[in-house]
Structure 1
Amino acid sequence: MADQSVFRITKELSELQKNSDLSLAVACRDIDVRNVKALIIGPHETPYEFGFFEFAFKFNKDYPRKSPTVTATTTNGGRCRFNPNIYANGRVDLRVNIFLPRLNRTFAPSSKLTRHSTWRGERGEEWSAAQGLESILLSIQSLMSSNPYENEPGFEDANEPPDKKNQKDYVQKVLTLQLLSASGVNNDLQIRHETLRISVIQRLEEYLGLAFDGTVTAPPVNKEDYDLDMDTLDDESTVPFEPFKDLCKRRFLWYYDSYLAAVQKGKEEVKDGQSFSRMPFEGSSNTMEGKFNYSELERRLRNIKKALDAETEGWASDGLAAKVKETTVAVNLQRQYEQVVESFKRSDIPHNLELVDQNPFVWALTYFGKPMTNLDGGLFRIILYFSPRFPEDQPRVKFETRLFHHRIAADGTPCYFAPVSRREDAKSHIEAIIDALEEEQPPYDPRTLVNPEAFKLYWGSPEDRRMYNRRLRRSVQQSVE
């Protein structure tokens, strides 16, 4: 039975890691598949949007006959309750959704749930061996709805309907940011404030070793010593297991403009220093206490962005040191660079690739706009920065040539998806970047919302789309001026 449970867990982990869901991630140490960490990125058009919520799963030997235990770990040290079904002590009440059918995987707002099943666990809601890790994660994700107040046990049976002010105050407390939806939903400032502060800002500051004032207190812990060679790793047991560090850093760069836009909206709607309101469901050990300070959140966001940019630029100098030492990663990237150049020549691809300062960790791609498209005639310089820890740390890419595009952030960071199975293949990243640029009929996917202004125009009205195309063409023309 033990072998069967390990086989089942391993299979589920592999399937989740291979799929293209941009809102879920799972990981475990190779020697301990029964203890799994999972990350859920808050759903679009909810107060949890683009927040990083981590959960710990513990699978027993009777899995899948018996369900695993699930603990929320993004709780600010047990001081913050994000949701009526996700407690400050880490408890996650899954009776609500564990039995729901597979949810829409396009990251659209979750369907409303049957409120009674949220807490009563009626007949037919028992755990089934047909369920698994993915269904649990989707169930938790569906709790992160646009109106979490309605998940509160007994909500439907309350003597009086929820007070509008209480509903607004609660939703304002959870911690991820969102741009307000077109319907004008304006009841999420506290939730979004705390989601941003705890799940995004505190997490990234810890990863980067940043103090509250933005100064570096200690270098982030990495698996390599200063010899920059991945062949000489510390003992795994001495290294903190932080499997989502690189993912969260890259996603922060994707969603940075959305975070700032939400902060700006919050500053317009609430004054700094205003206290949070206590909600009816909150008890002495399950609260979200605090005060609004969107100005402070903005300052810390900008400090994180500066630190990430500095870290990326630091890869170049670290890379030159690794080149001198002929580390495994340096030799590998040099060889891959030469192979990609030869591949371009053999296939008559017009794009040009070169090393910046002969550094195998910094590649400069000159992309020529595809003929007969809105990119036709454009000439774009794209820089790919590789970490001395590649592929553990994935490349960070920056368009040096400005391009108004719904998949490119204002600072030039592109949103693209390299195949998980080819993470170590540098060429796959180049191909994925070009595919993202040239995709003619992309499906609507708010997880790619890296440029709020361009995204809104691209997916807006026909007139909005025409405006988007004009601005795109204008930036293409400017690229050769």
Structure 2
Amino acid sequence: MADQSVFRITKELSELQKNSDLSLAVACRDVDVRNVKALIIGPHDTPYEFGFFEFSFKFNKDYPRKSPQVTATTTNGGRCRFNPNIYSNGRVCLSILGTWRGERGEEWSAAQGLESILLSIQSLMSANPYENEPGFEDANEPADKKHQKDYVQKIRHETLRISVIQRLEEYLGIGPDGVVAAPATTKDDYDLDMDVIDDDSSVPFEPFKDLCKRRFLWYYDSYLAAIQKGKEEVKDGQPFVTMPFEGSTNTMEGKFNYTELERRLRNIKKALDDEAEAWAAEGLVAKAKETTVAVNLQRQFEQVVESFKRSDTPHNLELADGNPFVWVLTYFGKPMTNLDGGLFRIRFRFSPRFPEEQPRIKFETRLFHHRISPDGTPCYFAPLSRREDAKSHIDAVIEALEEENPPYDPRTLVHPEAFKLYWGSAEDRRMYNRRLRRSVQQSME
């Protein structure tokens, strides 16, 4: 039975990791599949939008006959209740977990699993989470409407403050003032002399660190837009309204301060940009020491250049200052498309810890495109199975650029203005095409 449960958990983890769902991620230490960490990225058009919410799963030997134990860990140290059904102590109230009374047929069954639990939790992160409170249907209408609005406002604020800003500040080792704190030893620390990664099991397990950094760059402008919306609705210093269902030790208390959040958000953006810039200097040291990553990236670069020649691809690829950790691609717009005639310079920065840290990519030539953020960060999907293949990142960026009929997916919202026009009315789409063409023409000037 124990072996069967391990096999089932391993299979579910593998399937989820292959899944292209951009809002869910799972991970575990290789030696411990019964303890799983999961990340849910808050849904679009909700107060949880693009927040990073982490949960821990403990699977017992009776799984899947019995449900796992699930705990929310994004709680600001047990001080923040993010939902009527997600308590500040980490308790997740769901009928399928046996932590909440449900209707007949809503209880746990062996047909359910890790993904169905995550999707059930994600469904709690709605546009109006106040509705999740039992008895909502019988609530007093005028007061109830006010409470719903107040609840959404404080969840939006704390989603930004706790799930995004605090998390990224910890990952980057910076304080609320943006100053770098004393460096802590992490699993990502790289010994260039030894050419190994320290694998001390006592180091905190942070499997979503790189993912959250890259997604922050995708969603940066959406975070700024949420802050602007918050500033229009509440004043700095205004205290949160306590909800009727919040108890003394299971609440979300605090005051609004969007001005402070914006300052910290901009500090994080700068720290991430500085981090990618620093990789170039680290890379030159790694190149001089002929580390495995440096040699591998140099070889991959040469192979990509050869593949471009063999396929008569017009794009040009070169190393910046001979550094194998900084690739510069000159992309020629695809003929007979809106990109036709464009000439775009794209910089690929690789970490000395590649592929554990995935490349940071930026369009240095401005392009108005729904899959490229205003600062030039592309939204693309390299196959997880080929994450160590540098060319897969180039191919994925080009595919995102040239995709003619992409499915609507708000998780790819990286340029709010372009996204709104692209998916708007027929007139909006015409405006989008005009602005895209104008940016293409400007790329040749």
TM over 0.5: yes
Correspondence for 1:16:
16
Which of 308, 327, 347 is the equivalent residue of 1:383? Answer: 347
CA contact (8 A) 1:351 1:365 kept: yes
Alpha-carbon distance between aligned partners in 2 of 1:436 and 1:230, rounded to the nearest angstrom: 38
Structure 1 stretches lacking a partner, 5+ long: 100-117, 173-189
Correspondence for 1:140:
121
Correspondence for 1:165:
146
Q: Letter of the aligned partner of 1:131 in structure 2?
A: Q
1:53 counterpart SS class: strand
How far is the alpha carbon of 1:135 from its aligned partner?
A: 0.3
**Structure 1 residues 45 and 195: CA distance shift in structure 2, 3 A:** same
Q: Letter of the aligned partner of 2:43 in structure 1?
A: P
Correspondence for 2:106:
125
CA contact (8 A) 2:69 2:97 kept: no
Alpha-carbon distance between aligned partners in 2 of 1:269 and 1:224, rounded to the nearest angstrom: 41
How far is the alpha carbon of 1:305 from its aligned partner?
A: 0.2
Correspondence for 1:103:
none
How far is the alpha carbon of 1:264 from its aligned partner?
A: 1.1
Correspondence for 1:108:
none
Which of 344, 353, 356 is the equivalent residue of 2:308? Answer: 344
Alpha-carbon distance between aligned partners in 1 of 2:193 and 2:345, rounded to the nearest angstrom: 30
CA contact (8 A) 1:224 1:232 kept: no
Q: Letter of the aligned partner of 2:116 in structure 1?
A: S
**Structure 1 residues 225 and 461: CA distance shift in structure 2, 3 A:** closer
How far is the alpha carbon of 1:268 from its aligned partner?
A: 1.7
- Could you state the TM-score of these two structures normalised by the residue count of structure 2? 0.97
CA contact (8 A) 1:224 1:230 kept: no
1:48 aligns with 2:53: no
**Structure with higher helix content:** 2
2:430 counterpart SS class: helix
**Structure 1 residues 52 and 62: CA distance shift in structure 2, 3 A:** same
Q: Deviations over 1:248-281 (max 9, x none)?
A: 0000000001101111121122111111111000
Q: Between 121-130 and 273-282, report the one with greater CA deviation.
A: 121-130
How far is the alpha carbon of 1:154 from its aligned partner?
A: 2.3
CA contact (8 A) 1:230 1:328 kept: no
1:153 aligns with 2:117: no
Correspondence for 1:195:
159
Q: Deviations over 1:169-196 (max 9, x none)?
A: 1121xxxxxxxxxxxxxxxxx1100110
Q: Between 59-68 and 163-172, report the one with greater CA deviation.
A: 163-172
**Structure 1 residues 141 and 30: CA distance shift in structure 2, 3 A:** same
Q: Letter of the aligned partner of 1:22 in structure 2?
A: L
Structure 2 stretches lacking a partner, 5+ long: none
How far is the alpha carbon of 1:235 from its aligned partner?
A: 3.6
CA contact (8 A) 1:406 1:458 kept: yes
Correspondence for 1:72:
72
Correspondence for 2:168:
204
1:50 counterpart SS class: coil
CA contact (8 A) 2:190 2:353 kept: no
How far is the alpha carbon of 1:294 from its aligned partner?
A: 0.4
Q: Letter of the aligned partner of 1:43 in structure 2?
A: P
Q: Deviations over 1:129-182 (max 9, x none)?
A: 11000000000000111111010022224476752111111121xxxxxxxxxx
Alpha-carbon distance between aligned partners in 2 of 1:406 and 1:221, rounded to the nearest angstrom: 38
Correspondence for 1:429:
393
Alpha-carbon distance between aligned partners in 2 of 1:321 and 1:231, rounded to the nearest angstrom: 12
Correspondence for 1:407:
371
Which of 270, 274, 280 is the equivalent residue of 1:310? Answer: 274
CA contact (8 A) 2:191 2:197 kept: no
How far is the alpha carbon of 1:219 from its aligned partner?
A: 2.8
1:261 aligns with 2:225: yes
1:237 counterpart SS class: coil
CA contact (8 A) 2:370 2:418 kept: yes
Matches within 5 A, 1:241-390: 241-390=205-354
Which of 409, 412, 418 is the equivalent residue of 1:448? Answer: 412
- Could you state the TM-score of these two structures normalised by the residue count of structure 1? 0.90
1:38 counterpart SS class: strand
Give the aligned CA root-mean-square deviation in angstroms.
1.5
Q: Between 425-434 and 154-163, report the one with greater CA deviation.
A: 154-163
